[in-house]
Chains A and B, each alone.
Chain A
């Protein structure tokens, strides 16, 4: 049935190149997470502000990010923005797309976490003479981040997996892009992509492990 000869040594020879790509993947994922977290906090603040326009803006962002495919959002950044004369490189487009997506999902996670913190705590803080911003920053925010830590970790893994979509807009420096380029040169599709899958799996597991260790250190009572 199988008269296919596997050429694993070709894939292993390309391993250093692919590991370089893995670094780029990790870099994009981390950057998109940092930007996404900052945006998500802003969106959460918008939602809490009580201002109709600001909270409407935040809700629209969250619903669009959560109800359209990530690939669509990356296409929008890469092809759609061209209409406004903004031409993003694949790297930037990928980063913008994933950061947009991250921000939407993270803002929703934060909203869920906020529900778990009783209003009375904010009121207690206000009674002690804190300004609304102080009460949010010193009392609500630390608890919110603690509750949302696990979902944020999941989103980080998602961000890593999403970086592979860059290859569809011509990204050729991340793990998926390099794998695709090697594949186009040699047609050893199975070998190269199997190796890429192993690398992605290891990265995902390492990130999860690191997050768990971090949580154990940060959140011990």
Chain B
């Protein structure tokens, strides 16, 4: 079973795929987090009623399959004649997808800060920004960071779907090798191990943080 014609070049090809997966993830999570923080703060500041349109749009991103979102994103950029490369389209769609989940995490974090604490800060003469920066941010981070790590890993795994737009990431790379070498199980196992090795330690770290930072457990 492990007698294989896999060469070092093929492994390098897989590594390139993994690099593509990580690149898409890094860009999308960075952009998605920035957007998510903006949307999350906006949603808290505006209140449920005024933020309803924003909440609805973000909810759509969480209720429609990512694959459909990617195809639609690609169709829209083609209709608008933007001429984006698949990489750009994938990153834009994944960023919005990340932002939708991230805004929910950020909102939860901000709302976990007791209102009395924030009022106390404002009573001491802090500005809204100072309150946000010195009171809310440190407290909300404790609540949000474990969930955010989970989201990052989720996006890393979901980024496999960009193969539908023709981007050669880890899973697509292994599929190409499968087509050539006709050893699906062995190559897919390598691919799975790579995903696992990236994801598992970070997931464990997130679980550790969650356990350590939960107030009464």
Residues on A lying within 8 angstroms of B by beta carbon are 1-2, 4, 63-64, 66-72, 75-76, 79-84, 157, 161-165, 167-168, 176, 179, 189-190, 193-194, 196-197, 200-201, 204-205
Contact = CB atoms under 8 A, between A and B. Distances in A.
A80 B188 contact: yes
Interface residues of B, number: 41
Interface of B: 1, 60, 63-69, 71-72, 74-76, 78-81, 153, 157-158, 160-161, 163-164, 171, 175, 178, 183-186, 188-189, 191-192, 195-196, 199-200, 203
A204 B63 contact: yes
Contacts of A76: 188, 192
Contacts, number: 111
Nearest to A157: B63
B216 to A, nearest CB: 13
Given A72-B188, A72-B191, A67 B203 contact: yes
Nearest to B188: A80
A184 B160 CA distance: 22
Contacts of B200: 63, 67
B97 to A, nearest CB: 11
- Could you tell me the dominant secondary structure of chain B's interface residues? helix
Contact of B63 (A162, A194, A200): A200
B159 to A, nearest CB: 8
Contacts of B191: 72
Contacts of A162: 65
Contact of B65 (A64, A83, A164): A164
